[in-house]
Structure 1
Amino acid sequence: MGAFKEIRNFSMIICLIIMTGFNAFADEISADLLSKSLELHQTYESDSKTIAIIDLRKPSTEKRLWVVDVDAQTVVLNTLVAHGRNSGGNYATSFSNTDGSHQTSLGMYKVLGLHMSPKHGRSLLLEGLDQGLNHRARAREIIMHGAWYVSDAFIKAHGRLGRSFGCPSVPKDEIEPMIRLLPKGSLLYIYHAQLDEISTNLP
């Protein structure tokens, strides 16, 4: 069992981040989001050694998806990721768990394994773990897939990434690394500043 499995409170996580070198990439991943993600990695008791983190406070033009190897204490992948087309333009500002909304759902997801999408090919099937926030992910067919509109070339032409129907879409040449780094049971955390407010107001 990894060292992080033994940590049981928030303050110890913060100390461990500072002591072990997570601060080396704190300029890229905010300290608050990193510590929260590590805390949730324990809470959801994932057997995977990696967690994917998406920070939707950042614009789509920035690399706002990180895959963190918790045991090795390193970022193993940092890349672009699209949000849902009805969540906003360059910035995501609206979120929904409703089928047909074409918006991104926030919260924690579990990777269910490799999925063969008729449209997108090899992808990762996702299950929403947060009731009211993203629990309709499977009904909405939310997957992590590669997309042509997630690229530096698209940003150069349009000033932002293209947008999905709600899926966290990544560059086409990054989906295979994602599949390798996020095996079945891995976690994906999609965060925005609205998350706490939305969670508080759930029925």
Structure 2
Amino acid sequence: MATSALACRNRRADEADRILAVIDYSRPSSEPRLWVFDVATQNLLFEEHVAHGRNSGGDLAEHFSNRPGSLESSIGVFENAGSYSGHNGYSLRLRGLEPGFNDQAMERAIVIHGADYVNDGIIRAQGRLGRSFGCPAVRPAIARSLIDTMNKGSFLFAYYPDPDWLSRSQYLGDCDPPRS
């Protein structure tokens, strides 16, 4: 599904994305659920834990939002919008490409960043990762490397089996032009 969405995105874009990142929010936060691939070489570059928003659920993310202030994660297709250093350190801005599902990501400051609550010790103590304000947070030890890799031209596919998103996504199925 993620590779089909990437192919759809690349047909619409001026330049093909070479890095594909996939988050599978249907998996528990206590398991790796972020994978980053180099599409050209077909190599897996990262397999990592990733946090979800505190109002999305406990170990399992079950609620998603596009609303500012929701403290929930968003699903769908994102493109990278550049790295910067801010409140959470070195981070990667995400631009949501799916109206109604994640197109408020920039306004919500949904970014990939490192966070101390993403580590095996937290999982052992709590049975799950700590949670973010909606950002896909990763281990601080790999954050810079992962962000630098994704900053080379990346596409993020944040999956959850939400029937509404699966039926309305502009990047799934037959890759129709954007719907109004």
For the superposition of Structure 1 and Structure 2, which TM-score range results when normalised by the shorter chain? 0.7 to 0.9
Are 2:136 and 1:168 aligned?
Answer: yes
Cross-structure match for 1:73: 42
Matches within 5 A, 1:95-134: 95-117=64-86, 119-134=87-102
Corresponding letter in the other structure for 1:148: D
- Aligned pair count? 166
The runs of 4+ residues in structure 1 deviating greater than 3 Å are 198-203
Matches within 5 A, 1:1-80: 36-45=1-10, 47-80=16-49
Cross-structure match for 2:61: 92
Quick check: which has more Rg, 1 or 2?
Answer: 1
Deviation string for 1:76-101 (max 9, x for gaps)?
11001000000000000011100000
TM-score (structure 2 length as normaliser): 0.87
Q: Distance in 1 between matches of 2:40 and 2:166?
A: 30
Q: Distance in 2 between matches of 1:183 and 1:122?
A: 12
TM-score (structure 1 length as normaliser): 0.78
Deviation string for 1:26-67 (max 9, x for gaps)?
xxxxxxxxxx11111121115331110000110000010000
Please, which runs of 5 or more residues in structure 2 have no aligned partner? Answer: 170-179
* DSSP-derived class of the 1:133 partner: coil
Conservation of the 8 A alpha-carbon contact between 1:113 and 1:184: no
Q: Distance in 1 between matches of 2:43 and 2:165?
A: 31
Please, which runs of 5 or more residues in structure 1 have no aligned partner? Answer: 1-35
Deviation, structure 1 residue 69: 1.2
Q: Distance in 1 between matches of 2:155 and 2:166?
A: 19
* DSSP-derived class of the 2:95 partner: strand
Larger RCO (CA under 8 A, 6+ residues apart): 2
* DSSP-derived class of the 1:139 partner: helix
Cross-structure match for 1:197: 164
Cross-structure match for 1:183: 151
Corresponding letter in the other structure for 1:66: W
Conservation of the 8 A alpha-carbon contact between 2:23 and 2:159: yes
* Alpha-carbon spacing, 1:190–1:86, altered in 2? closer, same or farther (3 Å): same
User: What is the RMSD computed on CA atoms of the aligned residues?
Assistant: 1.7
Conservation of the 8 A alpha-carbon contact between 1:126 and 1:137: yes
